[in-house]
A and B are shown apart, each in its own frame.
Chain A
Amino acid sequence: MQFLTPLGFLLAALALPILLLYMLKLRRKQVQVSSTFLWVQLLRDQQANAPWQKLKRNLLLILQLLILAALVIALARPALRVPAVASGSVIVLLDGSASMNATDVSPSRFEEARKSVRALINGLSNDSAMTLILAAGSPQTLISAETDQSVLRQALDRARVTQGHAGWQAAFALAAGAARSSQGKATIVIVSDGALPENGLPALPGEVRYIPIGESRDNLAISALALRPAQKGPQLFAEASNYTGTDRSVLLSIYFNDELIDARQLNLRAGSSGSLTLAELPNRSGIYEARLSDPEQPAAPLDALSLDDRAFAVYQSGSARRVLLVSNGNLFLEQLLASLPAIQPFRALPAGDGTVQIPNDPFDLYIFDGILPTKLPDAHLLFVNPPSNPLFEVGAPYREIGNVQVKEDALTRFVDWSNVHILEARLAQTPPWANALIESDAGPLVFAGETNGQRIAALLFDLRQSDLPLQIAYPILFSNLIDYLAPASAFDATRSLQPGEVLSILPQTDVEQIVIASPSNTAFTLSADQNTFTQTHELGFYAVNFLSKDSTRAEYFAVNLFDENESNIEPRASLQIGSSAVAPAVSQEIGQRELWTWLAGLALLILILEWQVYHRRQIHWYTGKQVHL
């Protein structure tokens, strides 16, 4: 037993005013009696016989002093020494990854972990500070170096488990930073089921302790679900894995837009996986879902972790991109456009007077070959050998083209420029919004960039003045450029995302707003110029609605767990961090348990008692009355 704020005892001086008030006291109620003769005798006896009678008469005073004593002791904060897992500067890494949703401990592993951390907080000694880090997809410092236990508990209550994998490296980095900035010895406590990556974790400074959570490894998971376009319709591949220690048979059902299209019973040996391939599926856009269930009891939960018993895949039947070629006639370009997949080419020729009329229909991409319309369309543009225009200045032609360099870029992937020769090019400066992709000493030959939501690329030479169309680099460069300028879809839906992964969206230029509905029907609104979506923490499929002035178009993408580390929920007996193993922690440090709440409660009880006593004395009051004949 020790007192954390012994100065609180100074408040015991408040007993003096209480005593003083008691002595001055007590406007006694005056009552007339016929004679005080017997009373005087009685009190003389009492005072002579039993001094403690006085105390009994002062029961209220005693109770008041007891209340004061309880409060004063409570303010002095008495504390008991109790064993604790950690003391001093404590940094808690709370696992918030998908596997912590497992229900093998009731109600869930995460709640169990929260309970453990609460116990840590309760056992925290007075001078100990705690930092709480939630290890989720993007680790989050819930509270930093806090000593107030109630604040810590509030922060702990805010922690929510996620459905993705935990970014342990970033979490370790946060913990290491917190440990270095703390004064004195830091103890890092990892509260987890042990689903940490086996290697690649940095060593932690200070002492590391591990509180293991979880009891069983009862989990089956869909470990893969993928779609592949093929000649006669897409192919679907689904894989289920058995992470339990026993052989299990499961029912793998495939749904297309909520309609069951196939179901197979898979007999999975312990630790192995089984797969299913469906071919020649209808060439329609839609959502495929794979579900795992128990063949005997389809409605009952299959295993401890239900998150990975469903998976989604989205099939988007390719819609051809409309490309308008504005040219006086260029065989190389026309043939190229005709040969590229998922392209619907159109051609516009200048009128007899040389003016160019662009059709009113919108196109995904405009290619201007040497000529320009009076007004450039507000869309993605590819210029080949352009004259000066509002977007950039083009200078005189030149022929001394030497030292051609190809910049490292996604657009120049697989482009081999070594055999390309150019007779004549035009001088230009790379605009500030663009990157030069291919450059000579004199200036850029090819550049690409984005300005005001418009993607623009330019080749500063005439294809017919070079041997590029004869080289292998020609279709590759143009395919890259066209995919960049007119992407097939706003995003790549065929590959599913992992929870927390960022989705890049490239909307059509007429899109004004993007509304994304999550699997739990939460709506996220993005403006047209936001091209990333980060709220992909829920598993399931998301609907991306592109709202333009007069039309609405929806596309879908799926977020699946597909993480062996998370699906394998077997609790690990020890952690491997760096080169050392961390065994489960036992309570060995000395923590404190404060007792002031009990004392405050006691004071309240005595207060109630005092109130009762006071009223009991006041109930029977009596006034003597004079009687007249």
Chain B
Amino acid sequence: MLFDESTLRKLNQLTLVASRVRAGAIKGERRSSRRGSSVEFADYRNYTPGDDLRRLDWNIYARLERPFIKLLEEEEDLAVHILLDGSQSMDWGEGEMHKFSYARRLTAGLGAVALASGDVLSIGLLQRGTVPVEFGPARGQASLPRLFGFLEGLESRGETNLNLSLREYSIRPRRAGLVILISDLFTPDGYEAGLRQLLGRGQEAALIHVLAPDELDPPLAGDLQLVDVETNHAQDVSLDGGVRERYRLRARAWIQATQLDCRRQGIRYLEATTSLPWDQVLLLEMRRAGIVK
């Protein structure tokens, strides 16, 4: 049961605090032509060439002799796209730590927040290089049960090709907004090209990297043949303490490289190990990473 009672209770609490927790911390960082069309003052920022001179705060300029642009509150709703990795490798872990369940609960949480704060929510499942099923766009809390039903019906199977799936998602006409990719990134061809394509379409992007604890520190020993559940690729490994240690270091280095890569491209990155409670990730870790606020 994906959304059992305790999960639902936590989701309800999230919707109550949704006015304070808001997906998409993108204001002031994205130059939108629509921004500032309202009259409510929001913030200042430095002038950059090409800005509309009509928004320049001349009073400040007279006082400080430096140009500042006056930002006004945008009242328009935000488009939130959640892309969920539905490959076989996500079907891993036991109980609460099952990656795909965990990812769906995160999706549900994010979706609930988005719907409660009046944003437009779309969800896509990335599987076998395409996006076989989508949810939305939907708006308003009335869509919550539909969202849960949709998530419950998803299954993780088959190989992933994140690049292909992301490209396919990006070439359809969408409202620009915030794209949140939830994946374990176990894809041999990488995900960078697909994300770059999304960014090129004017989307903001965030990456939630879901990993099970035994993927970071596998409790394995002896002479083994490891079989990839997704690709059925077999790999002979003779494991002893040294090899395990090196694997741990390798996994850590991979995560750090991914994080660095994301930062360079302006993608918010969050590592979510399934041993952490998902609601804690939603309330604390995502805020810390700047994905919600």
Contacts and interface: CB of A to CB of B under 8 A. Distances in A.
A622 B227 CA distance: 13
Contact of B235 (A36, A46, A56, A59): A36
Which of B222, B230, B251 is packed against the most chain A CB atoms within 10 Å? B222
Interface stretch (A25-33, A109-117, A153-161, A573-581): A25-33
Interface in B62-106: 89, 91-95, 98-101
5 contacts: A32-B226, A34-B186, A625-B94, A626-B229, A627-B91
A441 B234 CA distance: 120
Interface stretch (A257-265, A305-313, A612-620): A612-620
A35 B230 contact: yes
Contacts of A39: 226, 235, 237, 247
The interface residues of chain B, by DSSP majority, are classed as mixed
A351 interface: no
A612 to B, nearest CB: 13
A203 interface: no
A629 B230 CA distance: 18
Contact of B254 (A41, A617, A625, A627): A41
Interface of A: 26, 28-43, 45-46, 56-59, 617-622, 624-627, 629
Contacts of A37: 186-188, 228
B112 interface: no
A331 B1 CA distance: 144
Interface of B: 1-2, 89, 91-95, 98-101, 184, 186-188, 212, 215, 218-231, 233-240, 242-243, 246-247, 250-251, 254
B219 A36 contact: no
A184 B237 CA distance: 64
A28 B223 contact: yes
Contacts of B89: 34-35
Contact of B246 (A46, A618, A622): A46
B221 A31 contact: no
Given A37-B186, A39-B237, A622-B219, A31 B224 contact: yes
Nearest to A35: B186
Q: Which 6 A-B residue pairs are closest in the complex by CB-CB distance?
A: A620-B221, A34-B92, A35-B186, A28-B225, A57-B238, A36-B228
A627 to B, nearest CB: 5
A41 B250 CA distance: 8
Contact of B251 (A34, A38, A57, A617): A38
A308 B248 CA distance: 85
A434 to B, nearest CB: 96
Contacts of B239: 617
B237 A43 contact: yes
B247 A38 contact: yes
A29 B101 contact: no
A31 B186 contact: no
A57 B236 CA distance: 11
Given A38-B250, A43-B237, A617 B222 contact: yes
Given A30-B227, A31-B224, A35-B89, 9 more contacts: A28-B224, A32-B229, A34-B215, A35-B184, A35-B215, A36-B228, A57-B240, A58-B238, A626-B91
B254 to A, nearest CB: 6
Which interface residue of A46, A58, A621, A629 has the most chain B CB atoms within 10 A? A629
B221 A43 contact: no
A35 B250 contact: no
B90 to A, nearest CB: 8
Contact of B228 (A35, A41, A618): A35
B92 A627 contact: yes
B224 A29 contact: yes
Contacts of B235: 36, 39-40, 43
A416 B226 CA distance: 118
Contacts of B99: 34
Contacts, number: 117
Nearest to B187: A37
Contact of A29 (B98, B187, B222, B231): B222
Given A37-B186, A38-B254, A42-B246, A26 B229 contact: no
Contact of B93 (A32, A42, A619, A627): A627
Contacts of B187: 37
A39 B221 CA distance: 14
Contacts of A624: 229
Contact of A617 (B101, B188, B240): B240
A620 B247 contact: no
A31 B236 CA distance: 10
Contact of B221 (A40, A619, A627): A619
B186 to A, nearest CB: 4
A629 B92 CA distance: 11
B109 to A, nearest CB: 18
A34 B230 contact: yes
Contacts of A32: 226-227, 229
A540 to B, nearest CB: 73
Contacts of B101: 629
A504 B250 CA distance: 99
Contacts of A622: 218-221
A52 B286 CA distance: 44
A618 B221 CA distance: 7
Nearest to A54: B238
A620 B236 CA distance: 17
B98 A627 contact: yes
Contact of A629 (B2, B229, B243): B2
A45 B1 CA distance: 42
Contacts of A629: 1-2, 98, 100-101
Name the residue among B89, B212, B228 with the largest chain A CB count within 10 angstroms.
Answer: B228
A283 to B, nearest CB: 97
Contacts of A621: 221-222
B98 to A, nearest CB: 5
Contacts of A41: 250, 254
Contacts of B242: 56
Given A40-B235, A45-B250, A627 B94 contact: yes
A46 B250 CA distance: 11
Contact of A33 (B95, B218, B238): B218
